Amino acid sequence: MQGFSPVSNNKLYIQIYKQIRDAIMKGKFSVGDKLPSEKELCQMFSVSRVPVREALSALELSGLVESVQGAGVYVKQINVVNNDWVHEVDPQEIIRVRQILEPEVAREAAKNISDLERTRLTEILDRFHHEAEQEVYTEKTDENFHLCLARASGNQLFVVLYEMIWKAMEQKMWHMIQERTIESEFYRQGNYDEHVQIGKAVLDGDAEAAYEMMKQHMLQLEIRYWK
C-alpha cells in the first residue's frame, strides 16, 4: 500500500492515525480489507512499533478497524465515531514522567513515612494480597498505593503531581493498554509482586531499595506497554 508519508517527531501516533483514517475515509481501503502489517506500517512511516501500535489502537477505539488475534487489523467501517480523545496525553509521555518521578517518590517515602501512612500502606498491601488471591486487578488499589507513597514522602508537591498524572491516565487509550497488560492474567501476578516488594522496602525504611524497585517497576511498565 503506497501513499503514506513519513511523520515528524511530534505526536507520532496521532499523525499516523490521521493518515490511515483519511485513507480509509477516502476509499483507499474498503470494509473488510486488511491493513498493512505492523512491520509494513513501520517501514512506510519510518517509525518504531510503538506509535504504530498506538495508532492502530486509536483506530480501533474510533470504531474504524478491528484487531483479529493472529490475523491482523481489518477495516470495520468508514465513519469515525468519535476522535476527541486523540488530543489527550500520549501514553508514552505518561510512562516517561512516571519513570522520572516515581522512584524518587518511593525513596522519599521510605525516609519520611509517618505512622498514619504506614498503617494506610499496610492496608493497601493487604488489599493487593486479597485481590491476588481472587485473581483480579483493581485500578483503585493501584492508584491508592502510589498516592499513599506520594503522601508518605512528606512533599505535598509530589501529591499534586501524582494526582495530575493519574488524571492524564483517565483516557480510553490508557485503559485499552491497561486491559491488555496489567489486567491480563499473564502480567497480573508480576504487577502484584512488584507492588509488594516496593511497599515492604518503604515500610522497612530502605530508601535505596525502594528507589531501585520502583525504577524496575516503571521499567516493567514500559516493557509491558511495548509488547
Per-residue pLDDT of 159-216, as tens digits, reads 989 988 888 888 777 877 777 777 777 788 899 999 999 999 999 999 999 999 999 9
Predicted confidence (pLDDT) per residue in 108-124, tens digit: 999 999 999 999 999 99
CATH tag for 91-226 (out of 1.10.3720.10, 3.40.50.300, 3.30.360.10, 1.20.120.530): 1.20.120.530
Distance CA 15, CA 5 (A): 10
CATH tag for 12-86 (out of 1.10.10.10, 3.40.190.10, 1.10.1200.10, 3.40.228.10): 1.10.10.10
Q: Report in angstroms the alpha-carbon separations of 67 from 32, 57, 80, 167.
A: 11, 9, 16, 28
Higher pLDDT, 5 or 188: 188
Proportion of the chain above pLDDT 90, given as a percent: 52
The closest alpha carbon to 19, from 29, 9, 5, belongs to 5
At residue 193, the pLDDT reads: 94
pTM: 0.67
Q: Which amino acid is at 186?
A: F
At residue 180, the pLDDT reads: 75
Report the pLDDT averaged over residues 11-32.
88
Report the pLDDT averaged over residues 32-43.
94
At residue 172, the pLDDT reads: 77
Q: Which amino acid is at 160?
A: V
Residue ranges of E strands in the chain: 65-68, 72-75
The neighbouring-strand residues paired with 65 are: 75
What is the domain partition of the chain in residue ranges? 12-86, 91-226
At residue 5, the pLDDT reads: 72
What is the residue whose three cell numbers read 496489567?
Answer: 182
